A and B are shown apart, each in its own frame.
Chain A
Amino acid sequence: MSVDLSIKFAGIKFENPFTLAASPCTDNAEMVARAFDAGWAAAVLKTTSVEEEVVELVYPMMAGLDFEDKKVIGLQNIDLISERHIDQVEKDVRELKKAYPGKVVGASIMGQKKEHWQTLVRRLEAAGVDFIECSFSCPHGMPERGMGSTIGQDAELAERTARWVKEAATRVPVSIKVTPLVADLPHIAHAVQKSGADAITAINTVKCLIGVDIDSYVPYPVVDGKSSYGGYSGAAIKPISLRCVAEIAKAVDMPISATGGITTWRDAVEFLLCGARNLQVCTAAMKHGFRVIEDLTDGLSVYLEDKGMSGVEELVGLALPNIVEHSHLSREYKPVSKINLETCVKCDVCYIACQDGGHQAITLDEKRLPHVDEEKCVGCAMCASVCPVFECIQMAPR
């Protein structure tokens, strides 16, 4: 393949943008080694802590959201940070860097106080880690101890904590992993930038309650008759993380590592277009295995070839100028629905959607074929959204 998938993030060259996110996928060196063999450019080791931090996990910790016959379009976890403390993770880093000098090994950390954060950074640097990611963003469990998203939801706390980390990090870049659970993410991004941190990872999981067992009245996952709020991930949260990445990219001039629902190469392209320089994946790999890297790199390569682009770098941020304030959108643009009656199968779901969710612009003729009354059609595109036939309804300028 003639295209170059390599890209620099926070001063580090990655052979491709695809990085395994801090998660169960990266909880030991053996797993990460297999991922590297499969083609992943990098991994962020599962969030670790100082030895004195007590980490007790609960089981079961996962529950998927299924939609019709599709399994796990979203995933809730009530997992916590790794039970493996810094003493084990620094060994993993040494082992991985020795065996895979060309791969990028990051480590995610979380601490309760300045001393914890700085100890973690110093020990990881000494072990040879390539970059450090700070979780200011885990939405469940950890906030109860003043950690995780508690930090990321408070700009002042986030800035102060990031400064501690930067003070200790003399050699490697630091990326701050932020939470989407804030009213004003650019405000947090500015605080992170002020701290001197090198990059932002966006986003952590979204706090959720994935469902309730309607017979026992206990939400999922059921832990001995009780449950708790968890972190939501997977394809279902992609629109949220994509928004967050774009907002941050427009607010601050910092490299962004995107994460949150990246499942296909198309998602990858979209995040790059919205300003990401690195792409972290977890749920897709947990569901289908490390082999998904093949689809991601192949699809991205073919896309770049088709576009006549020589490398990933060219894509970064191309969509950003096209995202504007709502008030800046044209009020003169009046599209109209065009239905291709050659391919229409007369299911008339466009008619139903227009009747009950639109402007009653679609009528049916005696053969049950739908016709658009262009006077009544406002061009909302609900009909095109629901039509099951490939490219049958298009929104066109009048």
Chain B
Amino acid sequence: MAARQTPDTLDMPTRVSTMEEVDRGLKPHQALAEAGRCIFCHDAPCVKGCPVGIDIPGFIRRISQRNMVGAARLIRQANPFGAVCARVCPSEAQCEKGCTSAGLSEPVAIACLQRYAMDQEMVRGIRPAAAAEPTGRKVAAIGAGPAGLACSLVLATAGEAVTLYDRSPQPGGVMRYGIPSYRLPREVLDREIDWILSAGVQFVPNTEIGRDVEMADLVREYDAVFIGAGLGEPESPNIPGADAPGVISAYSFLRAAGEPDDDAREQAVKAVIAQPLGRVVVLGGGNVAVDAACTALRLGAESVTIAYRRTRGEMPAWAEEVEFAEEEGVKLVFLLSPAEVLQDDGKARGVRMTRMRLAEDDASGRPRPVPSGEPDETIEADTVVLAFGQAPNESIFSSLPSLARSEAGMIAIDAETGATSVAGVFAGGDAVNGGTTVVQAVSEGLRAAEGIRAYLDSVTPARD
């Protein structure tokens, strides 16, 4: 069997000096060759590995027959963020994980093929989503991230009047304000969002639940409500000195760096961190830490180190992303836990780190890091980026106190329909699952849309 095709990537010196997309995508002959590697096996484990169940062999067959429009439509039928997810899905752990071709050589490069089909669609323009007759029913969606947008699209095309609220000025949620543009170019994101909004979704920006609008009012005014509000503020660690200038949350840093053009980005980054980045240390071990590290390199950091309190094997970040960061020159240090942000003249100059060792497994099933008793170590740094994850979205709970929580403190839902404990209120995405992937959020948004439609049909029949 032919070898797996790999797309070109930006060359190294240029790559870390720009926010431009690193992955340049397959060329036409590569896409055909790669499509030719699919066996079109009977079981199609790839489809089972996809949270939204895209007909993967189906779209690959269409690519191999050079029917790119058909391929893109098939993808879009299952996933309104087909172009986004082709870029940000951990495909090696999802669709490609079970690929039957791996039994012969390597898995088919499914994500690359999906991207190819979606890029071809981009050249021709997305065919507008056909809207059904208005049902006369109104639905509010909170949070214009992947879950909220996916849910809104399904409802709008079914004829429900959808109003989509978000606290940010632009729609996209984590896709715009979290994922760096070198992984997800903003024009790709904008195209899919514009397509969704043009299906008749009313977008209301800069609107915060509990500040600008109350949940109780939404529940009263709308026939149903979807909560896809994502997570709350970043968890602030209890580290002395963490409020010093030069210390910033990865959340705020990536949000500022997400501005599409260079000037706006520079201004936004200056607004959250005044001095040059200099030597940067990122504390944490998840994908957000890796994204912050690689973004810092691109924004002119002299050096970037990720310090994680466990070891490489326990990093929540995807292995591929970690390798990507190392390729770019990010340094990784392990078994170090921050004890204190050291300051000079009232600004950060480094972090005193406690040396750790791995002890017995904790509740998450990973070995618990405990102090090893060895002397502390100092990492010199001008900028300290905190990437410790985000807490549940408390503003939602305080605005709707009857909303039940899951064991993990997130919004509890019915696994079939996405219904919460409050009648007519549904939820999905990070606010429910605690933060996983874009495609998972999309799938939960789609599921809730079906739940909402069934609920509406049971309580408010559609107008004839």
Which A residues are closer than 8 A to B by beta carbons? 69-70, 264-266, 288-289, 291-292, 294-295, 298-299, 301-303, 305-306, 388-390
Q: Is the Cβ of A298 less than 8 Å from the Cβ of B27?
A: no
Q: Please give the distance in Å from A108's CB to the nearest CB on chain B.
A: 28
B42 / chain A contacts, CB cutoff of 8 Å: 289
**Within the assembled complex, what's the spacing in Å between the Cα atoms of A303 and B69?**
9
Minimum CB distance partner of B31 in chain A = A390
B36 / chain A contacts, CB cutoff of 8 Å: 70
A265 / chain B contacts, CB cutoff of 8 Å: 65, 67
CB contact between B28 and one of A69, A70, A306, A390 (< 8 Å): that residue: A390
B270 / chain A contacts, CB cutoff of 8 Å: none
Asked if B463 lies at the interface with its beta carbon under 8 angstroms from chain A, I say: no
C-beta contact mask, B327-349 vs A, less than 8 Å → 1, else 0?
Answer: 00000000000000000000000
| A-B contact list, 16 entries, CB within 8 Å | A69-B2, A265-B67, A266-B65, A289-B42, A292-B61, A295-B58, A295-B61, A298-B67, A298-B74, A299-B70, A302-B67, A303-B67, A306-B69, A388-B29, A390-B27, A390-B28
B123 / chain A contacts, CB cutoff of 8 Å: none
Q: Is the Cβ of B65 less than 8 Å from the Cβ of A302?
A: no
Which residue of A288, A292, A299 has the most chain B CB atoms within 10 A of its CB atom? A299
Minimum CB distance partner of B62 in chain A = A295
Known: A265-B65, A288-B40, A295-B65. A302 touches B29 (CB 8 A): no
**Within the assembled complex, what's the spacing in Å between the Cα atoms of A50 and B40?**
39
Asked if B1 lies at the interface with its beta carbon under 8 angstroms from chain A, I say: yes
**Within the assembled complex, what's the spacing in Å between the Cα atoms of A292 and B28?**
23
Known: A295-B65, A390-B28, A390-B29. A302 touches B1 (CB 8 A): no
A69 / chain B contacts, CB cutoff of 8 Å: 1-2
B70 / chain A contacts, CB cutoff of 8 Å: 295, 298-299, 301-302
**Within the assembled complex, what's the spacing in Å between the Cα atoms of A375 and B36?**
39
**Within the assembled complex, what's the spacing in Å between the Cα atoms of A306 and B1?**
34
Q: Please give the distance in Å from A281's CB to the nearest CB on chain B.
A: 14
A289 / chain B contacts, CB cutoff of 8 Å: 42
B61 / chain A contacts, CB cutoff of 8 Å: 288, 292, 295
B28 / chain A contacts, CB cutoff of 8 Å: 390
A388 / chain B contacts, CB cutoff of 8 Å: 29
Q: Is the Cβ of A266 less than 8 Å from the Cβ of B29?
A: no
A264 / chain B contacts, CB cutoff of 8 Å: 65
Q: Please give the distance in Å from B251's CB to the nearest CB on chain A.
A: 43
C-beta contact mask, B41-73 vs A, less than 8 Å → 1, else 0?
Answer: 010000000000000001001100111011001
**Within the assembled complex, what's the spacing in Å between the Cα atoms of A291 and B66?**
17
5 A-B pairs closest in CB distance: A299-B67, A298-B70, A264-B65, A302-B69, A390-B28
B40 / chain A contacts, CB cutoff of 8 Å: 288
Q: Please give the distance in Å from B107's CB to the nearest CB on chain A.
A: 16
Which residue of B1, B40, B61, B66 has the most chain A CB atoms within 10 A of its CB atom? B61
Minimum CB distance partner of B2 in chain A = A69
The size of the chain B interface, using a CB distance under 8 A, is: 18
Minimum CB distance partner of A70 in chain B = B36
**Within the assembled complex, what's the spacing in Å between the Cα atoms of A389 and B30?**
10
For the residues of A in contact with B, the DSSP-based class is helix
Q: Please give the distance in Å from B3's CB to the nearest CB on chain A.
A: 11
**Within the assembled complex, what's the spacing in Å between the Cα atoms of A298 and B36?**
19
Q: Is the Cβ of B29 less than 8 Å from the Cβ of A299?
A: no
**Within the assembled complex, what's the spacing in Å between the Cα atoms of A289 and B70?**
19
Known contacts A298-B73, A302-B67; can you find 5 more A-B pairs with CB under 8 A?
A288-B40, A288-B61, A295-B67, A302-B70, A390-B27
**Within the assembled complex, what's the spacing in Å between the Cα atoms of A289 and B29?**
26
Contact count A vs B, C-beta below 8 Å? 41
Q: Is the Cβ of A298 less than 8 Å from the Cβ of B62?
A: yes
Interfacial residues of chain B within 54-112, with CB under 8 A of chain A in the complex: 58, 61-62, 65-67, 69-70, 73-74
**Within the assembled complex, what's the spacing in Å between the Cα atoms of A291 and B47?**
15
**Within the assembled complex, what's the spacing in Å between the Cα atoms of A389 and B33?**
12
Minimum CB distance partner of B71 in chain A = A298
Which residue of B27, B66, B70, B74 has the most chain A CB atoms within 10 A of its CB atom? B70
**Within the assembled complex, what's the spacing in Å between the Cα atoms of A244 and B61?**
28
A288 / chain B contacts, CB cutoff of 8 Å: 40, 61
Minimum CB distance partner of B57 in chain A = A291
**Within the assembled complex, what's the spacing in Å between the Cα atoms of A69 and B70?**
26
Minimum CB distance partner of B27 in chain A = A390
**Within the assembled complex, what's the spacing in Å between the Cα atoms of A248 and B73?**
37
Minimum CB distance partner of A301 in chain B = B70
**Within the assembled complex, what's the spacing in Å between the Cα atoms of A295 and B2?**
24
B29 / chain A contacts, CB cutoff of 8 Å: 388-390
CB contact between A299 and one of B1, B27, B65 (< 8 Å): that residue: B65
**Within the assembled complex, what's the spacing in Å between the Cα atoms of A360 and B1?**
35
Q: Is the Cβ of B69 less than 8 Å from the Cβ of A266?
A: no
Minimum CB distance partner of B104 in chain A = A69
**Within the assembled complex, what's the spacing in Å between the Cα atoms of A265 and B58?**
14
Minimum CB distance partner of A1 in chain B = B73
Q: Please give the distance in Å from A305's CB to the nearest CB on chain B.
A: 8
**Within the assembled complex, what's the spacing in Å between the Cα atoms of A291 and B27?**
28
Which residue of A288, A298, A389 has the most chain B CB atoms within 10 A of its CB atom? A298
Minimum CB distance partner of B55 in chain A = A294
**Within the assembled complex, what's the spacing in Å between the Cα atoms of A69 and B105?**
13
Q: Please give the distance in Å from A312's CB to the nearest CB on chain B.
A: 16
Minimum CB distance partner of B28 in chain A = A390
Minimum CB distance partner of B68 in chain A = A302
Minimum CB distance partner of A291 in chain B = B58
Q: Is the Cβ of A266 less than 8 Å from the Cβ of B66?
A: yes
**Within the assembled complex, what's the spacing in Å between the Cα atoms of A301 and B73?**
12
A298 / chain B contacts, CB cutoff of 8 Å: 62, 67, 70, 73-74
Q: Please give the distance in Å from A367's CB to the nearest CB on chain B.
A: 21
Interfacial residues of chain B within 1-50, with CB under 8 A of chain A in the complex: 1-2, 27-29, 36, 40, 42
Minimum CB distance partner of A343 in chain B = B27
**Within the assembled complex, what's the spacing in Å between the Cα atoms of A292 and B65?**
11
Minimum CB distance partner of B29 in chain A = A390
A306 / chain B contacts, CB cutoff of 8 Å: 69
**Within the assembled complex, what's the spacing in Å between the Cα atoms of A303 and B42?**
28
Minimum CB distance partner of B70 in chain A = A298
**Within the assembled complex, what's the spacing in Å between the Cα atoms of A161 and B163?**
71
Q: Please give the distance in Å from B130's CB to the nearest CB on chain A.
A: 11
Which residue of B1, B58, B67 has the most chain A CB atoms within 10 A of its CB atom? B67
Q: Is the Cβ of A299 less than 8 Å from the Cβ of B2?
A: no
**Within the assembled complex, what's the spacing in Å between the Cα atoms of A288 and B62?**
13
A295 / chain B contacts, CB cutoff of 8 Å: 58, 61-62, 65, 67, 70
Minimum CB distance partner of B67 in chain A = A299
B65 / chain A contacts, CB cutoff of 8 Å: 264-266, 295, 299
B66 / chain A contacts, CB cutoff of 8 Å: 266
A292 / chain B contacts, CB cutoff of 8 Å: 61
**Within the assembled complex, what's the spacing in Å between the Cα atoms of A69 and B28?**
20
Minimum CB distance partner of A306 in chain B = B69
Q: Please give the distance in Å from B242's CB to the nearest CB on chain A.
A: 54
Which residue of B28, B42, B62, B74 has the most chain A CB atoms within 10 A of its CB atom? B62
Q: Please give the distance in Å from B68's CB to the nearest CB on chain A.
A: 9
Minimum CB distance partner of A295 in chain B = B61
**Within the assembled complex, what's the spacing in Å between the Cα atoms of A294 and B67?**
12
Q: Please give the distance in Å from B14's CB to the nearest CB on chain A.
A: 20
Minimum CB distance partner of B127 in chain A = A305
Q: Please give the distance in Å from B75's CB to the nearest CB on chain A.
A: 13
Q: Please give the distance in Å from A307's CB to the nearest CB on chain B.
A: 12
**Within the assembled complex, what's the spacing in Å between the Cα atoms of A260 and B114?**
32
